[in-house]
Structure 1
Amino acid sequence: MTMTDKLGLILENRGPIKKIGVLGMGYVGIPAAALFANSDKFDHILGFQRDSKSSGYKIEMLNHGESPLKGEEPGLEELLKKVVDEGKFKCTPDFSRISELDAVTLAIQTPFSDPASLQPDFSALTDGIRNVGKYLKEGMLVVLESTITPGTTDTLARQILEEESGLTAGEDFALAHAPERVMVGRLLKNIQEHDRIVGGIDEASTKRAVELYSPVLTKGKIIPMTARAAEVTKTAENTFRDLQIAAINQLALYCEAMGINVYDVRAGIDSLKGEGITRAILYPGAGVGGHCLTKDTYHLERGVATSEGTLDYPEDTDSIFVLARKVNDFMPKHMYHLTKEALKRIDREVKGSKVAILGWAFINDSDDARNPPSEPYRDLLVNGGAEVLVHDPHVLNYPGVEIIKDLDKVVEGADVIAIMTGHSGYFELGPEQLKQLTGKENTIIVDGRNVVDPDTYISNGFVYKGIGRGDKNDHPIV
């Protein structure tokens, strides 16, 4: 009997998946747990959250049906309330309860401690895997949802689980990778409607993981593959998105240098859609933030570097993926350069200027402030001797930075207003209102997200600079 046959038999005897555990109560774990709990295929869902100083507060909130995620998340709070009231979902700090479950998913962050040497920080993930291994029982399914270096499921994860449990993966328990594919602001919708990539370390594991995810999909379908192919799929889809953003960011920088409007060029390129040549031309902006795009390229690079195969690639040439990262990481610095150039136009310098940053979250209408481009931009200003105030309607707090909710207070007396996030509220701002608050004859507005109409602001005496707006960046000052 092969290993997969043995495991298949164990799973068959165990019967269908009824009880599920979700480790990591964040942007991925919370909506996933709520959707599992809402399915009539499953009996009970446990969310596991450490009772730590920084995030222990989530346990009580979740058990009251309240979401700790504070951006706009359509339907999440209502669904949480429903599954908690029905007694189908509970959050607990007691990891020993893993032993009661049929399946466990892990949605734990996997940042990079040092991108240059391709060193990831897997400490939180390995802690989570270790906790699962301690309480793992025969016939259980373990699924990693975190984005990981290709090869991790069948090496590092397998090793820890086997060590801690004394069981063998693919023989005594099932192991798979089913990467999350969610965007903040549409978490529930994404989990239900996006196709789900599912890769087990063997056939029986893949089949069991397909059984776990099928009930929560509405429009999405399951795409089964091997664990390593699933790992590459996830890292590559984010790497490609980063590459597409870098391409339009570089084009924006070119358009500025050539004195033209990148948005005209973009509309022109995009009009060829039907031919399938430019299916996804994205938008330029003040930088790429968040947990995923800023590090998944390095997971992909590390996957190929640590694999057994040989890579045939042009010698002494940067990986285009890593180069794309460098371009996107440069955009906050470019915002700083635009700010400096604008100040020079009114005989001012960064030192002694007051700058109002609008938007700290990396994505519009969300409270997600992981690796925000606003941070390097602010650091450059502070190091240059500027006084900087930050406004964000959604982000409650951030280590070492005061986030102010009162827009008037932030903009009052500002020499520069820099738009770093496209929160919908910022689109409603008008030059008259802002001019009154700054009290300046010529206030600088640096638009990193194409939020304001340059002409309206310029005619009101503003000094305008915008990413990709070579047609406007040297306008006559009114």
Structure 2
Amino acid sequence: MDCSLSEYFKKRGSIKTIGVIGMGYVGIPAAALFARSFDKVYGFQRDSSSSGYKIDLLNSGKNPLKGEEPGLDDLIRETTDKSKFECTADFSKISLCDAVTIDIQTPFLNPGDLIPDFSALEEGIRQAGRYLTKGSLIVLESTITPGTTAIWAKKILEEESGFIAGEDFGLAHAPERVMVGRLLRNIQEHDRIVGGIDDASTKRAMELYGPVLTSGNLIPMTATAAEVTKTAENTVRDLQIAAANQLALYCEAMGINFYDVRRGIDSLKGDGITRAILLPGAGVGGHCLTKDTYHLERGVKIADEQSVDFPEGVESLYVTARHINDFMPRHMFHLLKKGLNRSVKDMKGAKVALLGWSFLANTDDARNTPAEPFYQLCKDAGAEIRVHDPWVTGWPGIDIRQDLESVLSGVDAVVVFTAHRMYYQLDSEKIRKLSGSNSCVIVDGRNIIDPDTYIRNGFVYLGIGRGDKNSHPL
């Protein structure tokens, strides 16, 4: 089987033309980097009412992604000016491609049932299958349930193409490992996991990614192992964040400073000693950490292998971590209620300024933002809540403003949800004057303000993990 596919790859020659399906936070920078290293790249994007605008923007050399993304604007302009990158809704051009990568979101609509919404991904795979040619390579970069590439995706591609994966075309999973705000750097510098359904597919996929890497290494494995690697690395990070969040809640309850404890723990050095603790916060958002645990859990459940030997009646440690991180916006709501009570104000009718709607600092990425459940809790309690974000300019059903002074004017409370750079420069005296209150509440969900400065200026301060300050004298 491998021999036949290897011959097709050899006959086709080196990879020259690449297609990238899905022009989002992963597909756009990936396509731009491919275009710098290969002859031609097609970025495939549906001409839909919600995303079709990206086609004209990209073809005019403009970046549709907002926020601080070093180098991406220049690279898009450079590759379009040289006619090496073209965005199109014409999926038939997949037939021109030697390799096609697929970068489409894979959310869980209801994590409780462990069934992901693969509808958009399925359509992307079917488009690839309709137009793929013998000797081409298909690579799924989307984070997916372990087992998806070698079983589900393979079946769809074979149905649509009439070809056989592993004989007529190559198939692999090479998961993206990027963070918004450093997309280009991550793609070039992070090691790249490459997992084919066979050795020939793995080798061909390594030919695709090798030219893009500047310092990262290629790590070959099977497709399913690659799927587990991506879901597990995000699951473990989510667990580490949950550990920090739980410790912060404990420190609050005991009246001590989490950051003193963290510094003390980290001071223990020596061979074989690792005590690093991540930072707590107002909640975990984004497309990856909020759902990859469920992909991993589902992979275990659907695997046609032996059952997991696990303590009976004990919930998964990883799922428990998800519950803790999902709780943090509610904890922010509890801190706000406590602060308003201390300033002798009711939640009902309180005017609240929510600072930061994106889940990550200095970007416009608001997917699964933890600010949203907090916002809804406040609305349900009768509060009047205003939202400010310098990067997110719109969200369904939410009025998001870019004028910070109008958001802060006349408020009873200020809640910092995102560590945007501009929020580090907040002036306590100016906020006090804008609020018009001598006992304005400020809740810091990212530990970016100095509690003592605000307390001296008459604020009621509360912060995650700041048990030493959360009951300060008024």
Residue 388 in 1 paired to residue 385 in 2? yes
Give the 3-state SS of the residue equivalent to 1:116 in structure 2.
helix
1:22-33 alignment runs, 5 A limit = 22-33=20-31
Out of 26, 31, 34, the residue aligned to residue 32 of structure 2 is: 34
Write out per-residue CA displacement over residues 187-214 of structure 1, whole angstroms, 9 at most, x where no aligned residue.
0000000000000000000000000000
Out of 113, 116, 130, the residue aligned to residue 126 of structure 2 is: 130
Structure 1 CA distance, aligned partners of 2:447 and 2:270? 26
Q: Which residue is equivalent to 2:297?
A: 301
Residue 119 in 1 paired to residue 115 in 2? yes
Write out per-residue CA displacement over residues 432-468 of structure 1, whole angstroms, 9 at most, x where no aligned residue.
0110100101100000000110001001000000000
User: Shift of residue 215 of structure 1?
Assistant: 0.1
Out of 183, 195, 201, the residue aligned to residue 197 of structure 2 is: 201
Cα gap change, 1:272/1:301 in structure 2, threshold over 3 Å: closer, same or farther? same
Out of 448, 452, 466, the residue aligned to residue 451 of structure 1 is: 448
Q: Which residue is equivalent to 2:7?
A: 9
Q: Is the CA contact 2:41–2:85 (under 8 Å) kept in the aligned structure 1?
A: yes
Structure 2 CA distance, aligned partners of 1:419 and 1:265? 23
Q: Which residue is equivalent to 1:434?
A: 431
Q: Which residue is equivalent to 2:367?
A: 370
Structure 2 CA distance, aligned partners of 1:297 and 1:110? 12
Q: Is the CA contact 2:265–2:275 (under 8 Å) kept in the aligned structure 1?
A: no
Cα gap change, 1:279/1:190 in structure 2, threshold over 3 Å: closer, same or farther? farther
Out of 98, 105, 109, the residue aligned to residue 102 of structure 1 is: 98
Q: Is the CA contact 1:106–1:144 (under 8 Å) kept in the aligned structure 2?
A: yes
Structure 2 CA distance, aligned partners of 1:191 and 1:387? 42
Structure 2 CA distance, aligned partners of 1:431 and 1:346? 17
Out of 217, 226, 240, the residue aligned to residue 213 of structure 2 is: 217
Q: In the alignment, residue 355 of structure 1 is paired with which amino acid?
A: V
Cα gap change, 1:273/1:155 in structure 2, threshold over 3 Å: closer, same or farther? farther
Write out per-residue CA displacement over residues 241-274 of structure 1, whole angstroms, 9 at most, x where no aligned residue.
1000000000000000010000111111222355
Q: In the alignment, residue 26 of structure 1 is paired with which amino acid?
A: G
Write out per-residue CA displacement over residues 103-150 of structure 1, whole angstroms, 9 at most, x where no aligned residue.
000000000021101010000000000000000110000000000000
Write out per-residue CA displacement over residues 382-432 of structure 1, whole angstroms, 9 at most, x where no aligned residue.
000000000000011111101100000001001010000000100001110
Q: Which residue is equivalent to 1:153?
A: 149
Residue 337 in 1 paired to residue 334 in 2? yes
Out of 177, 199, 202, the residue aligned to residue 173 of structure 2 is: 177
Structure 2 CA distance, aligned partners of 1:344 and 1:96? 62
1:232-247 alignment runs, 5 A limit = 232-247=228-243
Q: Which residue is equivalent to 2:287?
A: 291
Residue 313 in 1 paired to residue 343 in 2? no
User: Shift of residue 311 of structure 1?
Assistant: 0.4
Structure 1 CA distance, aligned partners of 2:159 and 2:194? 24
Give the 3-state SS of the residue equivalent to 2:280 in structure 1.
coil
Structure 1 CA distance, aligned partners of 2:339 and 2:18? 56
Q: In the alignment, residue 74 of structure 1 is paired with which amino acid?
A: P
Residue 46 in 1 paired to residue 47 in 2? no
Q: Is the CA contact 1:139–1:173 (under 8 Å) kept in the aligned structure 2?
A: yes
Q: In the alignment, residue 295 of structure 1 is paired with which amino acid?
A: K
Q: Is the CA contact 1:357–1:389 (under 8 Å) kept in the aligned structure 2?
A: yes
Residue range with higher mean Cα deviation, 172-181 or 261-270: 261-270
User: Shift of residue 357 of structure 1?
Assistant: 0.2
Over the aligned positions, Cα root-mean-square deviation in angstroms equals: 0.8
User: Shift of residue 90 of structure 1?
Assistant: 0.3
Q: Is the CA contact 1:4–1:171 (under 8 Å) kept in the aligned structure 2?
A: yes
Structure 1 CA distance, aligned partners of 2:279 and 2:272? 18
User: Shift of residue 10 of structure 1?
Assistant: 1.1
Percent identity of paired positions between Structure 1 and Structure 2: 66
Structure 2 CA distance, aligned partners of 1:31 and 1:279? 35
Out of 227, 230, 235, the residue aligned to residue 231 of structure 1 is: 227
What TM-score, normalized to structure 1? 0.98
Structure 1 CA distance, aligned partners of 2:207 and 2:265? 42
Q: In the alignment, residue 32 of structure 2 is paired with which amino acid?
A: A
Structure 2 CA distance, aligned partners of 1:65 and 1:115? 38
Structure 1 CA distance, aligned partners of 2:60 and 2:215? 30
Unpaired runs of at least 5, structure 2: none
User: Shift of residue 294 of structure 1?
Assistant: 0.3
Unpaired runs of at least 5, structure 1: none
Give the 3-state SS of the residue equivalent to 2:112 in structure 1.
coil
Give the 3-state SS of the residue equivalent to 1:370 in structure 2.
coil
Give the 3-state SS of the residue equivalent to 2:395 in structure 1.
coil
